[in-house]
Chain A
Amino acid sequence: MDLSFSAADLAFQREVREFIAANYPADIKARFDAGLEPRKDDFVRWQKILYQKGWVAPGWPKEYGGTGWTATQKYIFQEELGAANTPGIIPFGLAMVAPVIYTFGSEEQKKRFLPGILSSDVWWCQGYSEPGSGSDLASLKTKAVRQGDKYIVNGSKTWTTMAQWADWIFCLVRTDSSVKQQEGISFLLFDMKSPGVTVRPIITMDGGHEVNECFFDNVEVPAENLIGQEGMGWTYAKFLLGHERSGIAAVARSKRGIAKLKQIAAAEMSNGAPLIEDPDYRRKLAELEIDLTALEYTELRTLARESQGKGPGPESSILKIKGTEIQQAITELAVEAAGYYGFAFNRRAMDGANEPLIGPAATAFAAPSYFNMRKTSIYGGSNEIQKNIIAKMVLGL
């Protein structure tokens, strides 16, 4: 047992840190540090920078463009990205559909899709949830009917994150209604520019536009875009959700969030003294930091198991639950620190309009961020569903 990094790990950490310092574009950093709503271009530019360095897909096998890093190196990389507050690597292409393609796809599919994912030239979105199928994903109804060498897709998907920017979608569709729910699902890829695809924005309560409804009206999809076998989609989907969950702990981002909270609390005044000197507030900050430390070490133990060849198991649901609770708690404390200025709705400035902020810049978006982060205990399998997974798969109940 040893908590310290090896000399090689420390050298790697230095290398990553120096690379980010030298290559993270100042304009993107300014926007992210200010908490402004990100733009597609921010993500694409940053991912291309990592791609050119060969670092954009640490999770991939080396033969497809991965880094070949150890679990510790991957962890260090994530930590450094989080500490520098870079754009997050958008998971839909790189972390979600790509592992499905290189694990279950044909050679043609790998050749066709992986390069565009790696270079961030093709933006993907995830067609999973439907209006009637949220937690109960397997009840999905979007239908794909085979006609000769193509599928005809009809139905709709919802909560489709960043679909407004997407070139392609990976979609769970029902190809057989006569068998058990889970056995009639297939995994289909298609072009979002196909005739019959409509994307409609969903505005969330914080005033932002991240998610969408997608409607499919007789969309023709070439049969060659089916991943693996018909009826095996549920297996691939579950495999993918395992990948979605690793990294969901967001420890590095939360560390940064707590550091920012401390700065806010040092600047905000309460009874003539900085808020950070208020024992009640300090106590809450300390509790949060301790929760995060516990999560960090739980994640490290998971990583250590993974590096011994034991893939992320159902216990990774702990990382999702605790990670999202901590992310939400950080935004709660930011709202508390903001006081009355938390009332001001600086939405247009958040969207990049050149407007003066009401109240201190550090808390200008505290309330919308708090509202927005309520999504984290809902998405990616709600925290209630995660607890069901732990109860069933870990505790055997």
Chain B
Amino acid sequence: MDFNYSDEQKLLIDSVERFIQDDYDFDTRRAIVKSEEGFRRDLWQQFGELGWLAVPFSEEDGGLGGSPIETMIIMEAFGKGLVVEPYLSTVVLAGGLLKAGGTADQRASLLPELMAGSLIVAVGYAEPTSRFNLADVSTKAEASGEGFVLNGRKSVVLHGPMAGKFIVSARTAGGQRDTDGITLFLVDAEAAGVSRQDYPTVDGLRASELVLNNVTVGPEDVVGPLGGGFALLEQVVDEATAAVCAEAVGAMEKLHKTTLEYARTRVQFGQPIGRFQVIQHRLVDMYMAYEQAKSMALMANLKLGASPAERRKAVSAAKVQIGKSARFVGQQAVQLHGGMGMTDELNVGHYFKRLTMIETLFGNTDYHLKRYAAA
């Protein structure tokens, strides 16, 4: 039993946390969120130079061969800084799909650009009526010559506006909610028939409604097995879920510390409000919620390599805990800050908003409770 970080991991923690502290303060983030592009391309390339975008990829693919723990470290630090750059979409989701399911050619042609920060890839896994079921796919891919023609709509594609390529799930066979018959395709953002409606999200990110209208793709654009994309997608979404659990832990840590500090300094009735027992107990409950979430995020990330059944159960258990903790810590941080917690000016509301969206992302608490119970 060893819960200690290795020396290399400690260096990674230092480097990401130093970046958040020195180069990604709240005002910087606010300016990024308000900017036209909604992210900083120069910072993204800096992530590439620092090697962060190469962390999970194998050394043969030019990566650093990191484990899920390295991804967890980066995501937890990004959670503390509310980083809006497309790490989750491009490195964890798209990168994860290419790593686990991509052909040698796909990896050789895409991963170097992705790791350098010059190619952003977003993943379309949801549809207007799919909710959180990854197998609920009505986008169609019909065989045409050697390739396929795609028709359908992918909803709320995070980081879609900045993506050069998409990976989308589409149905090559089967009924709308069958797990068999789903195939993943690479689609160029500029391809004929691809259109997007871009918009901001409530937590400061950007997303797109992606419409595919007779989009032609070749056989070389299939990622993973034909008709067998579901297992690949489910595995990688589990990895991404474990990663956002870590992001939530970072955000909760920051919120709890901020609230604790506020309770120590905000004076009402002649004393800091942290002297009132009701506030003390609330802060203790927030602290316990954070600690339990941190434990579960760690557990899930350590079990990503287990059998699919064990992995599924671990990830869903963690997401349930994170969902409950995130809601409690977020709401109470706002409550204890009083009116200040409601403002756009203070960072507290922004952490709360991100935690609220993480609660939904890749399935909310009800969804993962059911998935856990069924596993």
**A contact residues vs B (CB 8 Å cutoff):** 129, 132-136, 139, 158-159, 202-205, 207, 211, 268-272, 275, 278, 280-281, 332, 335-336, 339-346, 356, 358-359, 367-368, 370-371, 374-375, 377-379, 382-384, 387
Contact = CB atoms under 8 A, between A and B. Distances in A.
Given A339-B364, A368-B202, A374-B342, 19 more contacts: A135-B338, A158-B339, A202-B345, A204-B349, A268-B131, A271-B133, A272-B176, A275-B131, A280-B366, A280-B369, A332-B327, A343-B205, A343-B207, A344-B201, A358-B199, A358-B209, A359-B128, A371-B349, A384-B278
Contact of B357 (A211, A343, A359): A343
A371 B352 contact: yes
A171 to B, nearest CB: 18
Chain B interface mostly: mixed
A275 B129 CA distance: 11
Interface string B143-187: 000000000000110100000000000000000110000000000
B360 A378 contact: no
Question: Which of A135, A340, A343 has most chain B Cβ within 10 Å?
Answer: A340
A212 to B, nearest CB: 11
A280 B344 CA distance: 33
B35 interface: no
Contacts of A378: 334-335, 338-339, 341-342
Contact of B350 (A205, A336, A344, A374): A205
B24 interface: no
B93 to A, nearest CB: 14
Contacts of A203: 343-345
Interface residues of B, number: 50
A346 B207 CA distance: 12
Contacts of B205: 343
A336 B364 contact: yes
Interface string B332-363: 00110011011111000110110011001000
Contacts of A356: 197
B202 A344 contact: yes
A110 B364 CA distance: 55
A68 B82 CA distance: 56
Contacts of B176: 272
B10 interface: no
Given A211-B339, A344-B199, A345-B201, A205 B370 contact: no
Contacts of A139: 268-269
B331 interface: yes
